[in-house]
Structure 1
Amino acid sequence: MDRKIVIALALLLVVVIAGGVLIALPTPTGNGNGNIPSRPFTSENINVSSPLPNASVAKTIIVRGEARGTWYFEASFPLEVLDKDGNSIAMSYATAQGEWMTTEFVPFEGEILVQNYSGPATLVLHKDNPSGLPEHDDSVSLPIVIQ
């Protein structure tokens, strides 16, 4: 019976030490810019899985997610990057990766290249609005940091 007690105490000691080490380890504090990356952006009409809000990104940004078919026109919608002062510094398009003539969510992917800028920025995904009527405008904005 003494052997069982020694083994139980040894196991308890290992668990206590492992718990102490895990508690003492530093917790992640973000992406180096003081902002903690959050969960993917979601809304009623569009979900952005990449990049995450507040993410630190390269100058070539891959944008992925899903949007309702009504967000697209001819299977695409505009992407834009704004600098910290709100000036447009890059434009591109995201393209539907499936049948877009629906009201359901359709996966999309796009690439946008930012040249000659580093620092805080905003990624804007615009609902395509070929009519130009303001009542059909919509967009979502995500804060990012360009390396």
Structure 2
Amino acid sequence: MSKKNKILLIFGFILVFFGLFVLRGNEDDWICQNGEWIKHGNPSAEMPIGLCPGALIESFEDCVKAGNPVMESYPRQCRSGENFFVEGIGNELEKMDLIRLDNPRPNQVLKSPLVIRGEARGTWFFEAVFPIVLTDWDGRIIAQSYATAKGDWMTEDFVQFEGILEFENPENIGDFSRRGALILQKDNPSGLPEHDDALEISIRFE
């Protein structure tokens, strides 16, 4: 092989290397987009912890990621400068006189199988059960089952309940995709919308 051909061959290898490892850039990486870490390609590293560089603080989660102080009130509050951000917990406080949830708690990281425990007034049940639903960040149902009364449900007093949900975690495509909701629906055999009711809390997936 002539010296000229050897040089051309070496130059060709350099171009291939450049194309594979340089031009691909952050093809397999986590990128910051609209204040969220977004999965791009198939990165080997876990999603970065903390706020995206240059991201605006617009929520409680953003405030915490930025390292700001959190007040242990309920719901918790985070302070960024003169701004306060309140942690979203769903409508738990509004439903306290009808249904109370012991496990999981709002914004808890869930693992499957999930044991759901709490107490609800007998009027929340029908035939000793009521529906429970788990949704992803986009409202898509990923699991559903029933909670069962652990005592006599034919009462207006509080009755303990328990249920189990088995589920697969949604694909992790960014921090937003780790969010979801657990919904405990009042059983409504009449089907009339005026009798619908539900406790809904924010949760997080692993």
| TM-score, normalization by structure 1 | 0.71
The alignment-based identity, stated in percent, is 46
> Does the Cα contact within 8 Å between 1:96 and 1:107 map onto a contact in 2?
yes
Please list the CA deviations of residues 48-102 of structure 1 after superposition, one character each: whole Å capped at 9, or x if unmatched: 0100100011022111000000000000000001110111111100000001000
Unpaired stretches in structure 1, ≥5 consecutive residues = 1-26, 30-34
Do residues 125 (structure 1) and 184 (structure 2) align? yes
Do residues 51 (structure 1) and 104 (structure 2) align? yes
Do residues 138 (structure 1) and 138 (structure 2) align? no
Unpaired stretches in structure 2, ≥5 consecutive residues = 1-68, 72-85, 172-177
Larger Rg: 2
> Does the Cα contact within 8 Å between 1:59 and 1:146 map onto a contact in 2?
no
Instruction: Determine which of 116, 129, 132 is the counterpart of 1:76.
Output: 129
Do residues 94 (structure 1) and 153 (structure 2) align? no
Alpha-carbon distance, 1:28 to partner: 9.3
> Does the Cα contact within 8 Å between 1:46 and 1:66 map onto a contact in 2?
yes
Instruction: Determine which of 150, 157, 164 is the counterpart of 1:104.
Output: 157
Instruction: Please report the RMSD computed on the Cα atoms of aligned residues, expressed in angstroms.
Output: 2.4
Q: Aligned partners of 1:85, 1:57: CA distance in 2, in Å?
A: 17
Larger deviation, residues 111-120 vs 101-110? 111-120
* Segments of 4+ moved more than 6 angstroms: none
Q: Aligned partners of 2:114, 2:170: CA distance in 1, in Å?
A: 13
Structure possessing the higher relative contact order (Cα contacts under 8 Å, 6 or more residues apart): 1
Alignment of 1:7-22 (within 5 A): none
